[in-house]
């Protein structure tokens, strides 16, 4: 066992001296998960003293040079921490090369006859820590333990992040599969309801026909929601390319507003198309229309009864701009950058009850990004908020 015999072996069999500098007594404590620590130092006595001190808790070895260290690391040899001795003003640039060979490697630079600003130079060169020789070996051990602990925490974070990404991908794939499988029976339901609607003619069937129309409307809305979920997934993966075609702005805005007429009437909010909305542009009309519907629905949801939501589209030589202005409470400055995030809600950020699921504005951003445009929200001069989409015209 290292620290209990007169000789200690490196993983490849190189013998190491086990005496401490200054006769420091050995400390038998060894962590449950000892690491591989390598000392790169040309002076044999200094290298042995450092390795002997660090070997009380870890598997310590000595390599003769940075060139040898680089070759062995590039060859796949595993090392957790490297203690590199640097004399005087010698360059420490090889630290970065070592980390390129082993990205998880920790490097502690020990300066002998350190020049001015030696510690800063070592850190700038990619070292994780630096100290000047002579150094108290207990202090050196503490520095090494601190680095190893930090490295272990970082590795744990990286593993947990990778697992979260794997679970998120699995969740997204599962949602896509569920959405895909639900659309087929839903399409059949819509078909049966449509046939039933067509067969219920005449005054005697009027109450039944109204119920069928309500069920058919709900089924079509559900079909639309499922389609949007799948669309969001494809946009996130970059697998949905906008199908560009020349689209006239006013009919596009009118179509988006008409699809929400029932909601606007129920809430007592008027949706008005600005008279200046003219022109056309190259875009995916279906995607942009859905984004406009989400913005208009959001404006209606937050506007008080009797308010007007103004929808405008204008084309310049270089871009097309859509603006949806409401008379609602507005968006606080601290949320203007995050309101387009997935599942983001101003209410939830404030600890209040949600008014939506936070996917509508996220879908808007995905559509705008797919077109190479920009989306933003700013305050309306008369109160409320203005949501803005800017897309390249060509």
CA 231 – CA 294 distance, rounded (Å) = 14
Average pLDDT estimate for 70-93? 76
CA 173 – CA 222 distance, rounded (Å) = 20
Does 260 or 29 have the greater pLDDT score? 260
> Cis bond leading into 134, ω under 30°?
yes
Average pLDDT estimate for 148-152? 83
Q: Which residues lie closer than 8 Å to 363 by C-beta, 6 or more apart?
A: 228, 231, 232, 235, 290, 291, 294
SS3 359: coil
Q: Which two tokens stand for residue 51?
A: 């390795």
* Alpha-carbon separation of residue 169 from 155, 163, 164, 176, 241 (angstroms): 21, 10, 9, 11, 21
SS3 282: strand
SS3 96: helix
The pLDDT assigned to 20 comes to 36
Q: Which residues lie closer than 8 Å to 239 by C-beta, 6 or more apart?
A: none
Q: Average pLDDT, whole number, for the chain?
A: 79
* DSSP state for residue 23 in the 8-state scheme: G
Share of the chain above pLDDT 90, in %: 19
**Global pTM?**
0.51
Helix axes 137-199, 206-236, angle to 10 degrees: 150
CA terminus-to-terminus distance, the chain: 72
Q: Which residues lie closer than 8 Å to 238 by C-beta, 6 or more apart?
A: none
Query: pLDDT band for position 332 (50/70/90)?
Result: confident
As beta bridge partners, residue 387 has 324, 377
Annotate 55-94 with DSSP letters as a single string.
TTTSEEEEES-HHHHHHHHHTT---SEEEEEEETT---TH
pLDDT tens-digit profile of 333-367? Answer: 888 888 888 766 665 555 555 555 567 888 899 89
* DSSP state for residue 321 in the 8-state scheme: E
Annotate 190-213 with DSSP letters as a single string.
HHHHHHHHHH--SGGGHHHHHHHH
- Flag the least confident range among 17-26, 226-235, 280-289: 17-26
The pLDDT assigned to 352 comes to 57
Does 116 or 307 have the greater pLDDT score? 307
pLDDT tens-digit profile of 232-268? Answer: 777 777 767 788 999 999 999 999 998 888 888 888 9
CA 373 – CA 393 distance, rounded (Å) = 10
The pLDDT assigned to 350 comes to 55
CA 82 – CA 62 distance, rounded (Å) = 10
User: 104-135 burial string, b = 16+ CB within 10 Å, else e?
Assistant: ebbbbbbbeebeeebeebbeebbbbbbbebee
Q: Where are the beta strands (DSSP E) in the chain?
A: 7-9, 15-17, 36-40, 59-63, 81-87, 106-112, 129-133, 245-248, 270-273, 280-283, 308-315, 319-325, 374-379, 385-392
On whether the CB atoms of residues 61 and 51 are closer than 8 A, the answer is yes
Query: pLDDT band for position 4 (50/70/90)?
Result: very low
SS3 243: coil
pLDDT above 90: residue 27: no
The pLDDT assigned to 21 comes to 37
CA 230 – CA 268 distance, rounded (Å) = 32
């Amino acid at each position: 066992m290292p620290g209990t015999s007169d000789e200690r072996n490196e993983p490849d069999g190189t013998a190491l001296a086990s005496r401490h500098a200054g006769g420091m007594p050995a400390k038998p404590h060894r962590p449950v998960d000892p690491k591989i620590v390598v000392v790169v130092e040309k002076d044999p006595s200094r290298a042995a003293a450092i390795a002997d001190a660090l070997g009380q808790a870890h598997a310590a070895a000595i390599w003769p040079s940075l060139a040898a260290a680089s070759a062995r690391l590039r060859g796949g040899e595993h090392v957790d921490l490297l203690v590199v001795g640097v004399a005087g003003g010698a360059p420490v640039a090889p630290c970065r090369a070592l980390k390129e060979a082993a990205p998880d490697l920790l490097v502690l630079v020990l300066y002998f006859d350190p020049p001015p600003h030696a510690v800063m130079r070592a850190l700038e060169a990619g070292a994780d820590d630096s100290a000047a020789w002579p150094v108290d070996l207990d202090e050196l051990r503490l520095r090494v333990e601190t680095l190893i602990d930090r490295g272990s925490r970082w590795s744990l974070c990286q593993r947990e992040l990778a697992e979260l990404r794997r679970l998120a991908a699995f969740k997204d794939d599962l949602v896509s599969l569920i959405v895909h499988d639900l659309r087929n029976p839903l399409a059949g339901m819509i078909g049966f309801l449509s046939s039933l609607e067509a067969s219920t003619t005449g005054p005697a069937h009027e109450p039944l026909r109204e119920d069928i129309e309500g069920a058919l409307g709900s089924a079509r809305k559900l079909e639309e929601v499922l389609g949007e979920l799948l669309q969001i997934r494809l946009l996130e993966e970059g697998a949905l390319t906008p199908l560009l075609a020349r689209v006239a702005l006013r009919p596009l805005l009118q179509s988006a507003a008409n699809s929400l007429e029932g909601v606007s009437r129920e809430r007592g909010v008027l949706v008005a198309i600005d008279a200046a909305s003219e022109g056309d542009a190259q875009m995916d009309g279906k995607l942009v229309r859905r984004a406009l519907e989400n913005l208009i629905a959001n404006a209606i949801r937050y506007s008080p009864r009797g308010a007007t939501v103004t929808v405008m589209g204008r084309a310049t030589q270089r871009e097309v701009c859509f603006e949806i202005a409401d008379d609602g409470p507005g968006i606080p400055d601290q949320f203007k950058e995050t309101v387009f995030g997935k599942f983001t809600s101003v209410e939830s950020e404030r600890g209040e009850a949600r008014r939506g699921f936070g996917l509508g504005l996220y879908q808007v951003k995905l559509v705008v990004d797919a077109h190479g445009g920009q989306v933003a929200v700013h305050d309306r001069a008369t109160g409320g908020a203005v949501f803005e989409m800017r897309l390249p015209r060509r």
